[in-house]
Amino acid sequence: MRNFIVTVDGKSYSVGVEELGEDGTVVAAPASAKTAAPAQAAAPAAAPAPETKAAPAEGTKVLSPFPGMIKNVLVADGTKVKKDQAIVVLEAMKMDNDITAPCEGVVTFAVSKGANVETNTLIATIS
């Protein structure tokens, strides 16, 4: 049996894996491997999360309708936008979806390109 440390979403798990021969039978581990304690591997450093800014409290909030990744920001922060103007492209399940402004006003983004968002995550505020 070989022991591995697997990290998923920042949480480490110790996993024992048996080696199988070509005929599907378990291969016996060498005696030294049976008695040796598994080495504790250092968990890899997590990648820095894309910048998330605090949006103004007042104004109309633009929320993510479903989970996905902000593939592109179509207008600059602080730009005046018109109602139904596309402001970001949200990629979900390999499809690009335009997220539009629900009203006219100045847009302030709470997320940046590359950010992963869940349903109802604040994308921007329009005031």
* pLDDT tens-digit series, residues 71-94: 999 999 999 999 999 999 999 999
Residue 43's identity, in one-letter code, is A
Q: What are 96's strand-pairing partners?
A: 91
* Beta carbons of 52 and 112 less than 8 angstroms apart: yes
Tokens of 5: 């440390």
- pTM comes to 0.56
* pLDDT tens-digit series, residues 28-63: 554 444 444 455 555 555 555 555 455 455 899 999
Average pLDDT, the chain: 80
Neighbours of 70 (CB within 10 A): 22
Residue 57's identity, in one-letter code, is A
DSSP 112: -
Residue 119's identity, in one-letter code, is T
Question: Residue 76 in 3-state DSSP?
Answer: coil
